[in-house]
Each structure stands twice: as structure tokens, then as C-alpha cells.
Chain A
Amino acid sequence: MPVILATDLIIFFLVGAIVYFIIASQKDGSLQAVRRELVKNRLAMVCMAFLAFYVAVALLDSVRYRDAVVGDDGKEALSEGGSVIYSPEALSLLDRALSGIRTRTEKTYSAPFASHSYAKESMEGASGGIVRGYPPLKYPRTHWLGTDRVGNDVLFIALKGVRTGVVIGAGTTLVIIPFAIFFGVIAGFYGGAIDDIVQYIYTTLSSIPGVLLIVAFMLLFGSSGYQGGLVSEVHVVWRAFVLNDRLFWLCLILGITSWTDLCRLIRGETLKLRELEYVQASKAFGAGKLGIIYRHIVPNVMHLVLITFVLQFSGLVLAEAILSYIGIGVGPETGSWGNMINTARLELSREPVVWWNLLAAFAAMFALVLPANIFGDAVRDALDPRLRYK
């Protein structure tokens, strides 16, 4: 039984958009040039490999289905109405592929590659008496990054954070792009009262401190809906969809606070474009306003959209960690690097120090944000040579 979250749709759409770009860049002349520019840049290619890995993990973690509950007799359990009962745990392909490290849990902390537990325990000595010592692990030397307080493998938890990071980074911008293009283009193209209204809206929105707007929205909307973890029947609509997803709200809200910059850019570009000769020419030939917007304006602001998309990505990934730390980010059941850091903070004051949790979250985030920053610069340079060194 598949379960599709609202945020899964974001990931599918992202992957679709990437595939479309690759296919389109085979034919379209200007996209071909962009691609050639990017392929020449070896550093950008290395960064792209990192990003591709993250997107692949996120995609695997976004395809999920629930298994039917199997009764003691080995048959599928049926409810009174005769329908199959599904387990509330919707495991993703990633969970299933890594079921080895997912299920190999220990009692509590253990250091990376340790053979014995982190905490001392009373146990039976070799000669029969009770001694205190470090008990051997159930699965010694298999936890590459150690285990956390309840004995889960840290590598697995860090991988579960990938989907949240990618959804926040990509989803937010995907959510805002339609709004920003629509308002930016009509404000720039029609001018006058429409322009005044759009400018008023985005000045008002951007004058509210972003963090506080996010906080206000999340307090009001985020607390209902699917918080991560087990899927309860209450949240499922049309048999398989979970649309009221806290993570999706977070994307939407981050989008509302950050669409104004893109809108402003697009408005400025449209102001310039509408005075250009080819737009004037098509006007003179009697082309309709909507036709001009669709054929000439929108394609020519798309480079701004793409640049903003890649440049905002890393900032949003970092913002997620901070919001989760304040307690208004993703729910505690959702794997996220912010939640990992939140728990790891207290572990530093233990003796001996539990450092692997924090280090894993740090490495996982850094390995996404740094390539995203470098790749973002490369895309910007390739798309808009005028902006180079800006």
C-alpha cells in the first residue's frame, strides 16, 4: 500500500525537473551552452556528483509503502469488513535497502567501530562473580559512526536527515517560483496600480522579520497534521495521500518569507524586457499581452529563477537546522540534522564525550551545503556571464 506525502511530490517534481533539464539541454541551443560551460568546470562536476548522491538518497527515501499486517497463521490479517489491514509504519525504499543497519540496534551509545558499549554495566564475570565492565556489543565493529542514546545506528539517522534537507532546500523554492513569477511579471509588465499593489505586498511582507513570521505561522498551522514517524489513518486522504504534512507547511512558510527577493528581481528584469525591441516589435505586429508574456517575458526571466534556486538552496538547509533547534522546525519523529544537533548538544558535556552524533550531523550537512554553494556559483557564472565576480 503506497503512502505519498505532500513532500514526496516535491522530490518527484525536483527529480522530474532535473531530468527535463538534462533532456532539454541536448536540443536547446542556449541550454547546451550552459551545460558545456558547467561540464568544463571540473570542480562544479565534483560538486554535482555530491548533490546527485543526496538527491538519489532523498528519492529512495521518498518512495514508501506500507506492508500488510501478517497474522500468526502466516496469512494477511483482515479487518471485520474483510479489507486488508496495513501496518502504520510506511517504510521507504531506503529503509528497506538499509534494513541491515536499521534493525541492528544496540542498548545505548557506542563509539564508531567499537566492540564494547559506551556505558559500564554489571555483568557476570568469567569466574562467575558480578563485575562492572563494558559489555560487548551485539553487533561489534559494524556501526561506522557509532550508535546514539537508544542504540540506533548514527549513519542511518544521518542518512534519514538527507530527505528533510533536500525537501527544505528544494521544496521551498519550488513552492515560491509560481508566485514570484506571476507577481513579478504582472507588476513589471502592466505597471501602474498593479505594480503599486504588488510592491506594497512584498514590502509589507519583507518588513516582518522572517524568523518571527515563520514562528507565527508554524505555531498556528504546524501543530496539526502529520509530524513524521508512524502514519495514522486520520491523515490519509484518498487512500494513499498525506497532504497535511508538517514538513510541507514548513516549506510553504519558508517560501512565503523568501519569495519577495525573487519577485523583486523578476519585476526589475521585466521592466527592462518590456522596453526591448523584440517585445516592441511583437506588440506592433499585434501580439496579445498574454502571448507576449508567455513567449517573450517568462522565458527570459527563467535564468533568474534558476540562479535563485541554486543559491537559496544551501541557506535553506542551514535554516532548517536552526528552526528545528528552536522547536518550530520538523517534528521530533522526522529524521533531521537539526534534531540530531539538538540532542548532540547535551552529549558534549558527558564524560567521556559523545562526539560522533554531532560530527555525523556536521559532516552530512557540510557535504551538502559546500557543494551546493560552489555549484550554485558555477551555475550563476554559466547562465549569466555579466554577473561573474559579483
Chain B
Amino acid sequence: MLTYIIRRILYAIPIVIGVNLLTAVLFFYVNTPDDMARKILGEKNVTATQVENWKRDHGYNLPVFFNGAEEGAAKISETIFFRKSLPLLWLDFGRSDRNNIDIGGEIKTRMFPSLAISLPIFTCALVLDLFLAMMLAYYRGTYLDIWGVVLAVVLMSVSTLFYIIGGQYLLGKVLKLFPISGFDTGIDSIKFLVLPVVIGVLSSLGVGVRFYRTVFLEEINRDYVRTARAKGLGEGAVLFKHALKNAMIPILTNVVVSIPFLFYGSLIMERFFAIPGLGSFTIDAIQAQDFAIVRSMVYLGSILYIIGLILTDISYTLVDPRVRFE
């Protein structure tokens, strides 16, 4: 098991380096430090000295990949790539371009509001999706199933923006059940969290129920289910005891892949509900064109995704004994 995990991690290293190189090319070559300086200093009336000063202050006054002016190992180490991009590998995010804030510290504090909203959404949505999907699979072929699927397709055809705007208007403004937006720490945060959680669950319900329904239907047509029925098990026991266990692989794939989004939060949800998490941090950086932050967030997201992939593979071996550590 341990060797398997180590090998999986070794496989991930080239991918991590690839992401690092890609972001470096994008952010340093296509968009040169000069462009960056001009954008931050304001597009108009920027002198060349101002640009040079800004680049020196923020450490962008070096060549990107290779510094011919230096000696020996410094040819490689005295470059933007080595100074700015490589430290991302050990999660040293550096400072932002615009306000010079510590990005790593900011990520640590903003992670918790993001988790406070995304974890309840994730668990509620998963439980509700699975429950409804199993119900539709149980009543497959009946009017309940047909109309359930129709409703799921209708739900998934509505833009998330409408769920948010409509929910805020109806539940927040007209019925005045919850505050429209905002965030607080501790126990007070609950009243702010209910509305985004309800909307978040609702907006992903259609896609989720439809997906898990097909997963269950596929299992239900298998031979082992026929055997279970033949030995006299009720349909409920067949679904919960046998089909659910065997459906774990597609369910897990879906679950683990969404791990990055738990930390990340949802970009627009946090924006609409004024939650000071990583999502709104990213959007603010996008709108302020602070590339140091965008770069860090791109990188953090990929790291989490790769960790998710490794966890998926490990979890397969835990739920399905047929999958071996190869």
C-alpha cells in the first residue's frame, strides 16, 4: 500500500512541474513583467523609470528562465522563474503584486469561510442526490420516475445565476427569512449560511440526481442483483445493501474530484453572498489584475486536483477488493 501511494505521488510530480511551467509561460512570457507593471501603475502616463522601479521592487527585473549575466548556478537561480514560480512547488506563494500582502497567510485565513459554506453544500447535496436518485431507481418506469427525470432536466437547464438571484430575492427580500448576504464568525454565521447552502444544493440537484440515477440503474440490471432478488430479498434491501455498495466507485470518483472546490469555494456564490473566502479573493484579484494571486490560485487548484486524483485511486482499493495496488 505504502509503495503504491509513493509511486502515485512520484507520477504526480511531472504533472505538477508541467502546471508550473505552463503558468510561468502564460504569466511571464505572454504577459511580460512590463505589461504587468503598466497595468498595475495605471495604463496612462507611466514612464519607463516607474516601470523599472516597480519591477525592481517586486523582483521582476530578472530574465525569465536563464540569466546569462550571472556566474555558475546563479545563471538559473537569478531568474523570475526560479524566484517566483518554483517556490510554488513547496507552497511558498510570496506576496501579491498590488498591495504586497502575504498570499499564503491570506489563503490560510480565507480557507475557513470557504469551507464553512462549501462543506455543508457538499454533504447536503450528496445525501439528497443519492436519496432522490435511489428513490427514482426504486420506482423506475413509473410516473414518479419519468416526472422526476423531467424535473431534473428542467432544474439543470436553469443558470446558477438565476438560482442565486431568485433565491436572494424570494427568500431574502420578499419573505425576509434570512439576511441577503454577509458573513460572521462563530455561531452567528449560521443565519448567513442557510441561504447560500439552500441555493447551492438546489442548483446542483438536477445534474446530481440524473447522474446517480443512471449509476443505480446500471447496477440494477446486473446479474448479482438478479441473484439477490432470486434468493428472496426485498427491492429495498437489494438497493441499499447490494446496489449502493457496488455503485461506490462512480460515486467516489464524483466525490473526490470535487475536493478542490471545497477549499476553493464557488467563485460566484461567495461573490453574491459577500463571503470572505478564497473564491471572492480570486475574483477580487482578477478584477484588480493582480497576477501573483491568480497564479497562486491556479497552482493551488491544480495541486488539490492532483491530490484528489490520488485519493480517488486509493479509495477505489478500499471499497473494491478487486482493485489491487499495482
Q: Which residues of A are in contact with B by a Cβ distance under 8 Å?
A: 200, 203-209, 211-213, 215-217, 219-221, 314, 318, 321-322, 325-328, 338, 341, 344-345, 348-349, 358, 362, 365-366, 369-370, 373-374, 377, 389-390
Contacts and interface: CB of A to CB of B under 8 A. Distances in A.
Contacts of A358: 162, 165
Given A212-B298, A389-B217, 15 more contacts: A200-B15, A204-B15, A209-B302, A209-B305, A215-B294, A216-B27, A216-B294, A318-B159, A326-B286, A338-B161, A348-B165, A366-B157, A369-B157, A373-B153, A390-B214
B287 interface: yes
B214 A209 contact: no
Contacts of A209: 260, 264, 298, 301-302, 305
B186 interface: no
A390 B287 CA distance: 40
Interface residues of B, number: 45
A207 B157 contact: no
A325 B268 contact: yes
A390 B218 CA distance: 7
Given A204-B22, A209-B264, A314-B157, A328 B218 contact: no
A205 B23 CA distance: 11
Contacts of A389: 214, 217-218
A377 B153 CA distance: 10
29 contacts: A204-B15, A205-B22, A208-B298, A208-B301, A209-B264, A211-B267, A215-B286, A215-B294, A216-B26, A216-B27, A216-B295, A219-B291, A322-B161, A325-B161, A325-B268, A326-B271, A326-B283, A326-B286, A344-B165, A345-B165, A362-B158, A362-B159, A362-B162, A365-B159, A366-B157, A369-B158, A373-B156, A374-B153, A389-B218
| Interface SS of B by simple majority | helix
B249 interface: no
Contact of A321 (B161, B173, B217): B161
Interface string B150-190: 00011011111110010001000100000000000000000
A322 B15 CA distance: 29
Contacts of A205: 22
Contacts of B26: 216-217, 220
Contact of B268 (A203, A213, A326, A344): A326
Nearest to A345: B165
B154 to A, nearest CB: 7
> Which among A204, A322, A370 has the greatest number of chain B C-beta atoms within 10 A?
A204
Contacts of B267: 211, 326
Nearest to A203: B15
Interface of B: 14-15, 18-19, 22-23, 26-27, 30-31, 153-154, 156-162, 165, 169, 173, 214, 217-218, 260, 264, 267-268, 271, 282-283, 286-287, 289, 291, 294-295, 297-298, 301-302, 305-306, 309
A212 B173 CA distance: 32
B218 A213 contact: no
Nearest to A358: B165
Contacts of A212: 282, 294, 297-298, 301
A338 B165 CA distance: 13
Contact of B298 (A206, A213, A362): A213
B14 A200 contact: yes
Nearest to B154: A370
A358 B14 CA distance: 47
Contacts of A215: 282, 286, 294
Contacts of A200: 14-15, 18
B218 to A, nearest CB: 7
B305 A207 contact: yes
Given A204-B19, A390-B218, A370 B268 contact: no
A319 to B, nearest CB: 9
Contacts of A325: 161, 268
A322 B268 contact: yes
Contact of A322 (B31, B160, B282): B160
B39 to A, nearest CB: 9
A216 B290 CA distance: 11
A256 to B, nearest CB: 11
Q: Which 5 A-B pairs have the closest CB atoms?
A: A209-B301, A204-B18, A370-B157, A369-B157, A207-B302
A203 B286 CA distance: 25
Contact of A341 (B161, B169, B218): B161
Nearest to B206: A373
Contacts of A203: 15
